[in-house]
Structures are given as structure tokens and as C-alpha cells.
Structure 1
Amino acid sequence: MKQIRLFLLSVLCALIALPAMAQDSKGIQFFKGTFAEAMAKAKAEGKPLFVDFYAVWCGPCKKMEKQIFTLPEVGEYFNKNFVSLQLDAEKPENVDIAKAYKVEAFPTLGIIDGEGKALSINVGYMNAQELLDMAKTAMGEMKGFEQLYKEHRQNPNDLTIQQELLTMAPQFLTTQDGMDAEKWVVRVRKIYQKYIETKMADNSLINRKDYIIIGYLGGDDDETTDRLVDYISTHLDEWLAAVGEPAAYYVVEKNDERMLKLVKKGDASYKDYLEKIRTDYKKAYDVIKFTNVTPYDKSRDYYNALFAIYKNKDVAEYLKLMRKYLAGLGADANAADYAMAAQSLYYAADKKLRAADHEQAIEWLKIAIPSEKVLMNKINYLVMVGDSYRELKKYSEAEQYYKQAYGESLQMGELQQAQQMIQASVLHKLSTLELLMR
């Protein structure tokens, strides 16, 4: 009887396992083992290694695992051509491997040859077609970046080749190191600038593919970016039809970056770009809706406040204008607005803060903390409050906020390196505070 029971149990286990095995076989079959073991297997089979560098907290990683890696067409191609591995990049034993392949965000999807050289590195969520295109390019079934670059050299005025080349450039550049990286960055920047200027001249730039190129590669050259902002603003209706509101946000973002850069240098010419908010760029800024204030009034109070403190270290004027700015936003003000007001006060005022100024910073941060969703930001705000209380010699309050910051850091279990650094810093502040309290 015992033997019969054991036999039936084994049959039952097999029957339970069969559907799961069938389901798994439809998608990518990931190797179970270490990176070194997967590399050895790939080399022995004469295949590249596909690595999904993930973090357990990463939402897009989980989405790819459930919705993309399980697709039959993806599994069929990857199982035939690669040894595949999923690697938790934040585990201690994998941290150095992740660094070697420049993994700084998740997911990072890499294809690595048998000698350990990265053939392709892509950062961020990919749909099935994008993932297959990446894989086929690495396998030589589709044109690679360097092949396209040779075609570009032979046909330097072919805009179709340039568009394809620039679309692939961000992914290709992540695989380059040292002097090679610098060389390719210079080449790509040169192609990008010429491409943008040519397509602005004949009005063929207004399309989704080129907008994606601008989003990935634009911003390094201030002069080109300035012309792009003016061009998008001038043709905003066409851009809105082609890509939607992101086109307007591009104008707003780049103009705001330009004003902030000038303000921090103490350059009063930021006012020229401030004026554009109610003239040249009005239609773009009108996409952003506020309840009680216009985009121009909001920006005027904000940048005038920053100019007062960066240029003249005029804390009193800064506080007056920043309070006006926050009051104007009213219910539209969020955690970042209040935290930014405090941070700018700390960073730009240097050692000129009075007790009342610290009290104001604390008040703003206490408004920001409860609604802040990003854990790292929340910890930073708590530490800043603690620092201000320490400056006010309110040591018990400072201790309370430092301990709260430490407590919040305990939620960073999977971000071990960042957690250790934060906790070491907070513990140092607490030990220093203990000496002051004696």
C-alpha cells in the first residue's frame, strides 16, 4: 500500500508540473545559476548571453517578466539563439557584475559575447518588437549601429540613414567605454546637430520618430536646443498633432532649465526668457493649468526669488518672494514645491541663515514630508529638518527627526548600498548630536 501511495503521489506531482512546464516553454527559458556559470554555458554552446538585470522592487522589470518574456515568439527566438539569465543586480554577489556593464537603472537588458564584451545594452522597458529587434541586431540579422555608420559615411546626406542611426545611438553608446565612448559621442553629436538643422530647414522634423531622437540626444548643445525650442514653439499646433502635449512640455522644460541656469549664475538675462512665457511661448505654457495663478506669474515669483538669493544672498527678499510663489500656487503646490523652497534656501544662502530662516525651512519641509512619495526624498527632508533643529540648538527635536530618517531607511531593504550609506550618515549625525547634548 505504501508503494502504491508513493507511486500515485509521484504521478500527481508530474501531472501538476506538466502544465507549468508547458507554460514556461512558451517563453524565455532562463538559466538557473550564477553569472559565471551562465557565461560558461553560453561559451560552450557558442551563443551570446542575454541578461535581464533587474531589481526586485522594479515595476517595469516585473511587467517585462510577466508580459514580454512569456510570449511564444520571444521565447522561440531567445531560446534558439541565446543562453538567458535573470540577475538581481542589487544582490551583493552581483553588484560588481552590474557595475561592469554600467547598470544604473532597471530594467537593463544586455547581450554579452563569450568573452564578456557587451554587444548591446538597453535601459528601460521594451515591448516584444523592440526586444526582438535588439536581439536580431546583436545576432547580425538586422543592421547594427557601426554598419549604419559606414553607410552614413558613404551617403552623408541620406536623412533616412541618419534617422535610423540616431535612433540606435543611445543604446549603442551605453556599450562603449573610455576613448571609444568619447569618440562615438562626438560623432553622434555632430550627426545629430546637422540632422536637426537640416530637418528644421525643410520642416520635415515634425514627427514622432524625430521627437524621440530629440528626447534622447538633445540638450548637450545649448545653441541647438535654443533653436529647437523656438522651432517647436513656432510650429506648436503641428507638433501637438504629431506627438501631443509632450511637445509643449519640451518647450516649457527647456526654457525653465535655461532660466534656472542663468539665475544660478546671477545673470539677469533670465528675464528675457521669463517674458517669453507670456509672448512667444505662451501657447506651450498654457498647457499647464493652475487654479489661481498664471504660468507667467508663477514663474516670475519663482525665478525672481532664486535670483535674489543666488545673486545677492538676499535672504529676506527670497523669503518674501517664495512665500508669494507658494501662496499663488495654493492647493496646486506639492511636496516638491515646499521642499525646493527649503533646499534653495540652504544651498544658496550659505552661512547667512538666522534662526527665523531655519524655522521657515522647517515649516516648509514639515508640509512636504507627509505627502512625499519617493522614499529617498522623504529621508532627505527628514535629515534637513534635523540639521536645522541642530543649528537652532533644539537637540531633542533634531534627534527625533534623525531617528525618523533612520527608521524610514529600513524600508530600503533591496537598495543595500544606498541604505548603508544613508544609515552611516544618519548614525554619524546622531553620535555628533549626542556629544552636543552632554
Structure 2
Amino acid sequence: MKLLSAIALLFVFTVASAQDKGMHFEHNLTWAQIKAKAKAEKKYIFVDGFTTWCGPCKYMAKEIFPLEETGTFFNANFINVKAQLDTTANDSEEIKKWYQDAHNLMVDYQIRAFPTYLYFNPDGELVHRALGSTNAPEFIKWAKNALNPKTQYYSMKKEYAAGKKDTAFLHALALASQQAYDEPFSSEVVNKYIATQSNLYRADIIGMLASATNKTTDPGFKVFTENPEKADAFLRPGTSANIVKSIIGKEVLPSLIYKEGNTYKDNIDWENVKATLRKQYPAFGDEIALPAQINYYKQTQNWPKFSETVSTYLAGLGAKANPSVLNNYAWAVFENCDDVACMNKALAWSKQSLSGEAANEPGFMDTYANLLYKLGKKDEAIKVEQEAVAKDPSLQGTLDKMKQGKPTWD
């Protein structure tokens, strides 16, 4: 018993020592008090803007903040603050007292993605910003940039506004603006830097363009439209096409199908829409028009046309069809259509979604089982749903209804 107590104490001491070596975060101080402390101690402030649901936030808190190398640097140079930017029913009193300060930080500094890191000088002025999860050396590098006036993001923005536009500076500012997630300014700077370059097909250039291309007039749009395979050599396959389709879908398509007020035009001529897009963007016309047409039939509850158009769209995609998209289309039919021909088409889409890495996805299995059940194939449906429940117990209620012969689509 004494030996167990000694081991327990050693474990507690070891854990406490490990935590002590990591970053030390302030507790029970208001934002005003933290700024006053920073001014008195002449130290910078580091703010970790996180949410409770954010995966990268949890990774940083668990794997990076507790490291000795991280703690050594940050504790010496910063007053460290955690700002929870969402609210939950389980929030502690300390978190609740910080609700207003956290809200003000999110609004005042336009935090739109998580985790966002804010760095303030001893006078409480924001000088630098970064975003996302990374390893300890890179995380420390970001913080070092915050301490150096030459690499502080907001100091660089002031220099840019004052007229500094040399190539090396534009390159550094473009990278910093993307790290800061500062749109639309980032796109402006990236495009200015790109204009100074003769060879755009480099890993660093393509990476910048992938983040900064948002309009048909951006230089990256031409790169991704005319040479998608060449650009994708530096990206994931299909990235160029996805960028182009997203921009066309936001910038070109709306004028063809919507009237003022973002409501659908009367009697849309979908063949004309497709022809217009094919003429302007031959490689992407149908891939943009057909999903829009599918959504139109979904919104107008025209399920025969919905299933017909989905079948046309998926036939063009073949094996490239995304399992999640297939599942969503199939579920929409299950919930809204009683036509047997319609449901049989949806059953085929659902079956196709259960392939590759998604073969054992319980949500997709549930869709397939529900369609089987609605089509009267009860025994087969129950068998599939049992497999789904084994992977996701929350689906038990659906399985119970199937066994009892009750509708699962109400």
C-alpha cells in the first residue's frame, strides 16, 4: 500500500513537472489587467484564440503548449493568455468572466478561423498575427517574428501603406498575410508579388496562388484554368479544377439563374445555362451547371427531375464521384420521394458511396439501409442497419423502428 502511494505521488510530481515546463497561462485577470501587467513588466502578450470544438486548437493545447522548448521561449518573452471564443454549458466561472473580453477580442480583431494567435506589444498594440496548428519550432518562429519590428505583420502593413513595394518585401508580406489569414488584403499583396515573377510554376508561387485566387480577374485563375495539371503537380490532384469551379460558381453562374434578391429566375433554360458555361469554360461547364440544376430541383421539390439530373451528373463523374455527395443525394430522395424509380436510382448512388475508404462509414450504411427499407426490402435493410449500429450506436432507434415495421422517414 505504501509502495502504491509512493508511485502515485511520483506520477503526480512527474505530470506537474511536465506541465510546469510548458507555457504558463494567466488566470483570473481581466484583459485590462493583463495589458497593465504587460506594460509594467515590459513584456509582449500572446493570445491563443481557440474554441472548444476546434481540432487544431486541441492539438496545440495538448502537444505543443506543454513542451519545454515552447515554454522556455514563451514564458521568457510573453504574458500568455488563453481566450475561449465560443461558449458551452460546461464553462467554468473563470471562462464565463472572460466572455465579454473574449467577444471583444474576436470582434475587434476580426477572428474568423481557429486557432488564431494574436501578439501585442507591451503598450497593448496588436503587432502580429498567425493562424493554425504546427510544430514547436515553427510555432516559436512565428512568435520570434512578433518580437522583431522588421517581421511584425502589422508593422509590415504600415510600410506597405507608406509605399514600400520592392520584390523581396512583397514576398515576405505575401507570406505573412496568408499566415495571418488577412483577406482580401492578402490577395492584393500576392497578386502584386506575382506580377514581378516570370516563372509562376514553382511550389511557393502555386501555393500562394491557391490561397489568393478568388476572382476570374486574379492572375491565378488563368494559371489554374489553362494549366491545371501543371499546377496540380505542386498541389493535390484536382485542386486547380476545384478552385476554378468555385470561382465560376460564385461569380459567373448567379447572373444566369438568379434574379434580384437571389431568388431563382422564372422558367430557367438550363440548356442555355450549360451552353453559356461550356462556351466560356469548356472544361468545367457541365460540372458547374449540373450541381446548380440539381439544387434547383431540390429547392423546387421536383424529385423526378432531381434524380434524372443527378444520374446525368454522376455518369459524367464516374468513379470520381465523392462518396459524401452521393450519400447526400441519396438521403434527399429517401426523405422526400416515394416514387419507386426515383428511390431505386438513389439506392444505386448510396451503394456507390460505400466504396473505398467510405465502405464502412456508418452514416452511409444507414442511408443505404433506409432506402432498402422504404423499398420494402426489410430483411436486407435490417442486416445493413445492424452493421451500421455496431459502428455507431446512436443509430439504434432507426434499427428498432425497422424491426417493429414502423416508418423511418417521418
TM-score, scaled relative to structure 2: 0.60
Q: Map 1:59-98; keep pairs closer than 5 Å.
A: 59-91=55-87, 93=96, 94-98=98-102
Instruction: Select which of 264, 268, 290 maps to 1:302.
Output: 290
Following the alignment from structure 1 to structure 2, what is the Cα–Cα distance between the partners of residues 114 and 156? 26
Amino acid at match of 2:172: E
Contact 1:233 1:251 in 2 (8 A): yes
Deviation at 1:107, TM superposition (A): 2.0
The corresponding residue for 2:384 is none
Amino acid at match of 1:206: Y
**1:51 to 1:153, Cα distance in 2 relative to 1, 3 A:** closer
Instruction: Select which of 205, 208, 221 maps to 1:229.
Output: 221
**1:117 to 1:194, Cα distance in 2 relative to 1, 3 A:** closer
Deviation at 1:80, TM superposition (A): 0.6
Following the alignment from structure 1 to structure 2, what is the Cα–Cα distance between the partners of residues 115 and 152? 23
Q: Secondary structure at the match of 1:222?
A: coil
**1:28 to 1:206, Cα distance in 2 relative to 1, 3 A:** same
The corresponding residue for 2:262 is none
Deviation at 1:43, TM superposition (A): 4.2
The corresponding residue for 2:323 is 334
Deviation at 1:216, TM superposition (A): 3.1
* 5+ residue gaps, structure 2: 89-95, 258-272, 368-393, 395-410
Following the alignment from structure 1 to structure 2, what is the Cα–Cα distance between the partners of residues 195 and 74? 33
Instruction: Select which of 111, 129, 135 maps to 2:143.
Output: 135
Q: CA RMSD in A?
A: 5.1
Amino acid at match of 2:45: L
Contact 2:23 2:65 in 1 (8 A): yes
Contact 1:111 1:118 in 2 (8 A): yes
**1:97 to 1:215, Cα distance in 2 relative to 1, 3 A:** farther
Cα deviation, 1:99-155, whole Å, max 9, x if unaligned, reads: 322244332222245665433333321332332233223223652234435665788
Structure number with the higher helix fraction is 1
Following the alignment from structure 1 to structure 2, what is the Cα–Cα distance between the partners of residues 145 and 333? 39
Deviation at 1:257, TM superposition (A): 2.0
Contact 2:45 2:81 in 1 (8 A): yes
The corresponding residue for 2:211 is 216
Cα deviation, 1:188-210, whole Å, max 9, x if unaligned, reads: 554433322332xx11x223332
Deviation at 1:82, TM superposition (A): 1.1
The corresponding residue for 1:166 is 174
**1:230 to 1:299, Cα distance in 2 relative to 1, 3 A:** same
Following the alignment from structure 2 to structure 1, what is the Cα–Cα distance between the partners of residues 13 and 151? 40
Contact 2:118 2:130 in 1 (8 A): yes
Contact 1:305 1:319 in 2 (8 A): no
1:255 to 2:253 alignment: no
**1:198 to 1:235, Cα distance in 2 relative to 1, 3 A:** farther
The corresponding residue for 1:100 is 104
Instruction: Select which of 104, 110, 125 maps to 2:118.
Output: 110
* 5+ residue gaps, structure 1: 1-5, 175-184, 278-295, 347-352, 383-407, 409-438
Q: Secondary structure at the match of 2:238?
A: helix
Deviation at 1:342, TM superposition (A): 7.8
Contact 1:229 1:250 in 2 (8 A): no
Q: Secondary structure at the match of 1:52?
A: strand
Cα deviation, 1:395-426, whole Å, max 9, x if unaligned, reads: xxxxxxxxxxxxx9xxxxxxxxxxxxxxxxxx
Deviation at 1:66, TM superposition (A): 3.1
TM-score, scaled relative to structure 1: 0.57
The corresponding residue for 2:310 is 322
Deviation at 1:41, TM superposition (A): 4.0
Following the alignment from structure 1 to structure 2, what is the Cα–Cα distance between the partners of residues 330 and 31? 55
**1:126 to 1:142, Cα distance in 2 relative to 1, 3 A:** farther
Amino acid at match of 1:30: F
Contact 2:232 2:239 in 1 (8 A): no
Amino acid at match of 2:104: A
Cα deviation, 1:246-273, whole Å, max 9, x if unaligned, reads: 3x53321123224434444334521235
1:19 to 2:14 alignment: yes
**1:116 to 1:144, Cα distance in 2 relative to 1, 3 A:** closer
Q: Secondary structure at the match of 2:217?
A: helix
Following the alignment from structure 1 to structure 2, what is the Cα–Cα distance between the partners of residues 323 and 132? 51
Amino acid at match of 2:151: K
Between the aligned residues of both structures, percent identity stands at: 21
Q: Secondary structure at the match of 1:198?
A: coil
Following the alignment from structure 1 to structure 2, what is the Cα–Cα distance between the partners of residues 330 and 338? 15
Deviation at 1:52, TM superposition (A): 2.0
Contact 1:28 1:79 in 2 (8 A): yes
Amino acid at match of 2:194: I
The number of equivalent residue pairs is 331
Amino acid at match of 2:46: F
Following the alignment from structure 1 to structure 2, what is the Cα–Cα distance between the partners of residues 33 and 57? 23
Following the alignment from structure 2 to structure 1, what is the Cα–Cα distance between the partners of residues 297 and 7? 74
